[in-house]
């Protein structure tokens, strides 16, 4: 059996995007791979460092969802990253094998800096604009003074003023919107060192268990490239002890949020695995649909409707009829949503029942036992690493 490591940052109760995007896949993998499923709480610390106490409760809630979805502690090792200190130890070793510029090129880091920049522009836009106005006024005064001294003609004065203003405004706009190479560094004060290094910790997570396979979506393949580079470098410099992990390409269904955009907690458009029936009914009722279909009888476009997308995700049996009747106008959105609601309820109810029967104490026990098993493997790998490095 090949070894797989996969994990999630503990962010609390999971939504159906996690269920269909990750957990369904993990459940199947348990049968054919040696699976390690990690609660990546050190990773959570990179952004939740001001409130680490919330991570514990988030861990319990998340793991209950894992168990409810069929992740089985008898078939997979379910563990907490911070309970296996070897992760941080291997992280230190790996951090010597990767350059700063390589980390700055990491797509997730670039994305994060882009978000920070957009946020900063939003909050400090006024300040930036004020600065631009002041700089423009300075330039006008400068030109006025020059004109007094040099007796420029009106035409020359106009053209000089125009050139200076263009220069100032272009500089200001460039600062506002242009992302220059290496700009990530200028946002360094907003990003902690841990966040920059998180792909190195991720490499340690995978290689500590000699993970050979990492389940990823097509767009995430670059994310494991760094792990592969680190494994190769370690093997070349010291001793060939690490496998070079391969991506296991997995097609994840697109699970839209209730507003049709990507489902995410920050957008407030999620449907939780543990959603209460009354909240679920309200969320489905309020889902957006094809804006051109206002009443029954109007022809609809299922291909752009998130309700239809969820019918597909939840495998509603009469999907073809729904599609046909939506297009013809025979089906109204209210009835279509009622069908979706009962389909979601039928799917989630058994999971919710199972979840309700799992206590915090049981989760703690599973995580303690899983972390103990993970640590046995981690210790053996670190012994090999020390042997390869030949330190004192």
Q: Give residues in contact with ligand SF4 (CB under 6 A).
A: 289-290, 293, 300, 302, 305, 307-308, 326, 331, 333, 336-337
Closer by beta carbon to ligand SF4, 40 or else 310: 310
| Minimal distance, residue 329 CB to ligand SF4, in Å | 9
Closest to ligand SF4 by CB, 223 vs 301, is 301
CB of 279 vs ligand SF4, minimal distance in Å: 19
CB of 21 to ligand SF4, least distance (A): 22
For ligand SF4, the closer CB: 53 or 295: 295
Q: Which of 390, 135, 357 is nearest to 237 (CA)?
A: 390
With residue 6 as reference, give the H or E element that holds it.
Answer: strand 3-8
Toward ligand SF4, which CB reaches closer, 257 or 302?
Answer: 302
- Characterize 112-130 residue by residue with b for buried, 16 or more Cβ atoms within 10 angstroms of its Cβ, and e for exposed: bbeeebeeeeeeeeeeeee
**Nearest approach, Cβ of residue 235 and ligand SF4 (Å):** 53
Nearest to ligand SF4 of 70, 329 (CB atom):
329
C-alpha Rg value of the chain to the nearest Å = 27
Neighbours of 321 (CB within 10 A): 13
Kindly tell me which of 76 and 310 has the beta carbon lying closer to ligand SF4. Answer: 310
Cα separation of 37 and 14, whole Å? 15
How, if at all, do strands 213-216 and 246-249 pair? Answer: parallel
CB of 108 to ligand SF4, least distance (A): 34
Nearest to 250 by CA among 21, 3, 4, 19: 21
Nearest-angstrom CA–CA distance, 330 and 318? 14
Shortest spacing between CB 356 and ligand SF4, in angstroms: 30
Closest to ligand SF4 by CB, 293 vs 375, is 293
Smallest gap, in angstroms, from Cβ of residue 17 to ligand SF4? Answer: 19
DSSP letter for 143, please: H
Three-class SS state of 240: coil
Count of Cβ atoms closer than 10 Å to residue 285 Cβ: 13
Q: In degrees rounded to 5, what are phi and psi of residue 75? A: -105, -15
Minimum Å gap between C-beta 348 and ligand SF4 is 19
Contact partners, residue 9, CB within 8 Å, separation at least 6: 40, 41, 43, 44
Q: How far is CA 77 from the centre of its chain?
A: 23
- Whose Cβ is closer to ligand SF4: residue 97's or residue 336's? 336
């Amino acid at each position: 059996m090949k070894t797989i490591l996969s994990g999630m940052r503990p962010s609390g109760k999971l939504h159906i995007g996690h269920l269909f995007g990750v957990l369904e896949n993990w459940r199947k993998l348990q049968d054919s791979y040696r699976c390690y499923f990690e609660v990546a709480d050190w990773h959570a610390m990179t952004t939740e460092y001001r409130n680490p106490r919330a991570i514990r409760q988030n861990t319990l809630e998340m793991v209950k969802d894992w168990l409810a979805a069929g992740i089985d502690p008898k078939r997979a090792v379910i563990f907490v990253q911070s309970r296996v200190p070897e992760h941080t130890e291997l992280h230190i070793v790996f951090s010597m094998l990767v350059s700063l510029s390589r980390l700055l090129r990491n797509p997730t880091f670039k994305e994060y800096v882009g978000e920070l920049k957009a946020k900063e522009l939003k909050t400090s836009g006024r300040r930036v604009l004020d600065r631009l106005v002041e700089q423009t006024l300075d330039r006008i005064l400068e030109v006025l003074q020059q004109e007094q001294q040099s007796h420029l003609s009106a035409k020359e004065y106009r053209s000089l003023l125009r050139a200076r203003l263009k220069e100032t405004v272009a500089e200001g706009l460039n600062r506002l919107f242009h992302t220059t190479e290496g700009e990530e560094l200028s946002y360094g004060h907003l990003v902690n060192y841990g966040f920059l290094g998180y792909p190195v910790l991720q490499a340690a997570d995978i290689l500590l268990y000699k993970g050979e396979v990492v389940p990823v979506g097509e767009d995430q393949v670059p994310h494991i490239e760094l792990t592969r580079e680190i494994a190769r470098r370690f093997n070349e410099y010291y001793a060939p002890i690490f496998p070079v992990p391969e991506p296991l390409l997995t097609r994840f269904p697109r699970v839209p949020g209730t507003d049709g955009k990507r489902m995410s907690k920050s957008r407030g458009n999620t449907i939780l695995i543990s959603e209460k029936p009354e909240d679920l009914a309200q969320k489905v009722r309020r889902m957006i649909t094809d804006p051109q279909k206002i009443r029954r009888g109007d022809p609809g476009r299922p291909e752009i409707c998130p309700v239809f997308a969820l019918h597909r995700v939840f495998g509603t049996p009469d999907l073809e009829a729904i599609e046909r009747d939506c297009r013809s106008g025979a089906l109204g959105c209210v009835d279509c949503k009622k069908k979706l609601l009962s389909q979601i309820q039928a799917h989630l109810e058994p999971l919710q029942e199972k979840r309700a029967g799992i206590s915090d104490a049981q989760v703690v026990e599973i995580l303690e036992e899983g972390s103990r098993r993970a640590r046995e493997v981690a210790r053996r790998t670190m012994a090999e690493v020390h042997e390869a490095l030949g330190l004192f």
